[in-house]
């Protein structure tokens, strides 16, 4: 059995954050869920009410011998608008704010370092506001949210296109992955 690690990224709507990671060798599992709030085992409706403090996020179990945390960070940055403090694309509010949730000092240093490199790259005029936060309890979302891009493909594609995420990725990143 491999020594797997876990990465947690909040990148707005969790539906849009599963597919970019799911197809990479070394990614064992991607789970949609909630992190960062004060309610135990919150529901989607509770999180959407913006009263629990949770963010929608994905928990990625990966084999670091095949794909590194640094590579996952690179994928993450290319899925979001790291300059938006109010959410992501047309999803607004606390539950859609971006963050990297770290599990170790190494993950914290790598996340902060990648954020600093992005900030210094000149790619964005506005400051990078994505937070680097310690991971707390992660609560898997309801079953109907898991692998939404597969189970509700047509709705997922309309949502992505309509949200402005795909347009942003195409405009700001040289090789977008959707």
Residues assigned a catalytic role: 13
Which H, E and C letters describe the chain, residue by residue? CCCCEEEEEECCCCHHHHHHHHCCCCEEEEEEEEECCCCCCCCHHHHHCCCCCCEEEEEEEECCCCCCHHHHHHHHHCCCCCCCCCEECCEECHHHCCEEEECCHHHHHHHHHHHHHHHHCCCCCCCCCCEEEECCCEEECCHHHCCHHHHCHHHHHHHHHHHCHHHHHHHHCCCCCC
């Amino acid at each position: 059995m491999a020594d797997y690690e876990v990465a947690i990224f909040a990148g707005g709507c969790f539906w849009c954050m599963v597919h970019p990671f799911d197809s990479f060798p070394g990614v064992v599992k991607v789970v949609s869920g909630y992190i960062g709030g004060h309610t135990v085992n919150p529901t989607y409706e509770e999180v959407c009410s913006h009263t629990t403090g949770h963010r929608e996020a994905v928990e990625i179990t990966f084999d670091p011998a095949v794909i590194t945390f640094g590579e996952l960070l690179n994928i993450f940055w290319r899925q979001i608008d790291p300059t938006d403090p109010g959410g992501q694309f047309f999803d607004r509010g606390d539950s859609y704010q971006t963050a990297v949730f770290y599990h170790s000092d190494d993950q914290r240093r790598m996340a902060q370092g990648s954020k600093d490199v992005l900030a210094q790259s000149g790619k964005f005029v506005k400051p990078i506001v994505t937070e680097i936060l310690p991971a707390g309890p992660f609560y898997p979302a309801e079953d109907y949210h898991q692998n939404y891009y597969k189970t509700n493909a047509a709705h997922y594609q309309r949502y992505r296109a309509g949200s402005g995420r795909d347009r942003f990725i195409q405009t700001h990143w040289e090789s977008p992955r959707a």
